[in-house]
């Protein structure tokens, strides 16, 4: 270990990566695909009593897998789903992970957070609870989630979390079912913090999903209009694109991101992936070791993944559409594109931020 002093967590990670570039810093894990909500847009929403519950990893299996992750250098763990709180061993898994020294984050819809659960998190505090809030009225919440009375339950949970000093943030996903409450959601969020975090770029559906994201999502024009109406989001895009340059064509690899480098993702049945949405590339960590999967098998799979001809190979705007092979496969598209939704989204964002077709053409070699 280097004897250099660390100013913050990011610098610590940088120092550690100097010694091990494949350090799996941030692990994510779906404890279950089962959920107490039935959101029409969701890409993993099995019923609470789905028979797949019998196939989910047990406490003992999670203990072994997460222990091996820590042995490989993992520092952070995000638990999600489905609704992770539905796993029968959730508390045991959480306490075990805390005792192993992992910094814990939970993605939850908060509807199951009663006073007993909040007391548990006050005793075993997370780094953060990331709470999805889907509407500002009970009527829209029921239309969105298929459940009645959920807004009152969620707001009660948020009040309890605030009273007990448990760190949490709010986020939402905007679809055709709740976009009319955009401003109302902003006002609701302001009662609990300063950040209005939202997303409208819905994914495709997992093989065990059941939702229909494409039918629920907004049009590219509607997404960009919302980004223009949100001053914080608009500034984020301006900052990101301040020094924009066209991306070079893909030649050796179809990936423009650091997929398979930050840390593995585990599904409820023990399949290890290079990222949360890359369902088609996986290694069975239930029967194999984390080390072999992370350091040998997944890198080999990624290296062998072909560059597929298509417009995405030579597109100069990947920063604007944020399309990738994993999301392409999830959406049923070719990994080389096109994805009409994302292509239009990228074009409109470029237009909104002053990146013209002429500028793109003049700056892109061989375009």
Digit-coded pLDDT (tens) for 236-288 = 999 999 888 888 999 999 998 889 999 999 999 999 999 998 988 999 999 99
Query: Domain check: are 152 and 263 in the same one?
Result: yes
Residue corresponding to tokens 């992370």:
294
Boundary residue ending a domain (303, 319, 342): 303
Tens of pLDDT along 191-213? 999 899 999 998 877 766 667 88
Query: Domain check: are 168 and 67 in the same one?
Result: yes
Residue 86: band (very low, low, confident or very high) from pLDDT cuts 50, 70, 90: very high
Query: Domain check: are 84 and 106 in the same one?
Result: yes
186 lies in a domain? yes
Question: Which pLDDT belongs to residue 267?
Answer: 96
The CATH code of the domain that includes 272 is: 3.20.20.70
Residue 101: band (very low, low, confident or very high) from pLDDT cuts 50, 70, 90: very high
Residue 366: band (very low, low, confident or very high) from pLDDT cuts 50, 70, 90: very low
Query: Domain check: are 51 and 85 in the same one?
Result: yes
Query: Domain check: are 284 and 338 in the same one?
Result: no
Query: Domain check: are 149 and 242 in the same one?
Result: no
Query: Domain check: are 341 and 262 in the same one?
Result: no
Question: Which pLDDT belongs to residue 209?
Answer: 62
> What's the pTM?
0.91
pLDDT surpasses 60 at 360: no
294 lies in a domain? yes
Query: Domain check: are 119 and 263 in the same one?
Result: yes
Residue 323's domain comprises: 219-254+308-367
The residue-averaged pLDDT of 283-305 equals: 97
pLDDT surpasses 60 at 7: no
Question: Which pLDDT belongs to residue 167?
Answer: 97
Query: Domain check: are 189 and 325 in the same one?
Result: no
Q: How many domains does the structure of the chain reveal?
A: 2
Query: Domain check: are 88 and 208 in the same one?
Result: yes
Query: Domain check: are 286 and 245 in the same one?
Result: no
């Amino acid at each position: 270990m280097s004897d250099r002093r660390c100013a913050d967590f990011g610098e610590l990670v940088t120092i550690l990566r100097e010694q091990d570039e494949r350090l799996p810093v941030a692990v994510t894990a779906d404890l279950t695909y089962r959920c107490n909500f039935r959101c029409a847009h969701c890409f993993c929403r099995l019923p609470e009593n789905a028979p797949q519950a019998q196939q989910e990893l047990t406490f003992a299996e999670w203990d072994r897998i997460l222990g091996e992750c820590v042995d490989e250098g993992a520092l952070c763990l995000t638990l999600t789903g489905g609704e992770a709180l539905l796993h029968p061993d959730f508390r045991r898994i959480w306490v075990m992970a805390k005792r192993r020294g992992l910094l814990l984050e939970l993605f939850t819809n908060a509807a199951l957070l009663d006073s007993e659960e909040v007391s548990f998190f006050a005793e075993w505090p997370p780094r953060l609870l990331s709470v999805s809030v889907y509407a500002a009225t009970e009527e829209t919440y029921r239309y969105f989630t298929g459940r009645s009375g959920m807004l009152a339950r969620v707001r009660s949970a948020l009040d309890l979390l605030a009273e007990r000093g448990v760190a949490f943030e709010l986020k939402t996903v905007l679809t055709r079912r709740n976009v009319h409450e955009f401003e109302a959601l902003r006002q609701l969020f302001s009662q609990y913090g300063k950040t209005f975090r939202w997303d409208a770029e819905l994914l495709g559906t997992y093989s065990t999903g059941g939702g229909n994201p494409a039918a629920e999502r907004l049009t590219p024009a509607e997404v960009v209009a919302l980004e223009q109406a949100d001053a914080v989001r608009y500034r984020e895009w301006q900052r990101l694109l301040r020094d924009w340059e066209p991306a070079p064509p893909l030649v050796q690899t179809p990936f423009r991101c650091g997929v398979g480098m930050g840390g593995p993702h585990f599904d409820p049945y023990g399949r290890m992936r290079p990222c949360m949405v890359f369902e088609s590339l996986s290694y069975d960590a239930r029967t194999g070791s984390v080390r072999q999967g992370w350091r040998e098998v997944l890198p080999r799979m990624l290296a062998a993944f072909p560059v597929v001809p298509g417009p995405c190979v030579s597109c100069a705007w990947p920063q604007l559409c944020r399309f990738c092979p994993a999301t392409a496969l999830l959406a049923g598209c070719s990994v080389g594109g096109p994805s009409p939704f994302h292509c239009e989204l990228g074009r409109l964002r470029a237009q909104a931020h002053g990146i013209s077709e002429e500028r793109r053409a003049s700056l892109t070699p061989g375009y």
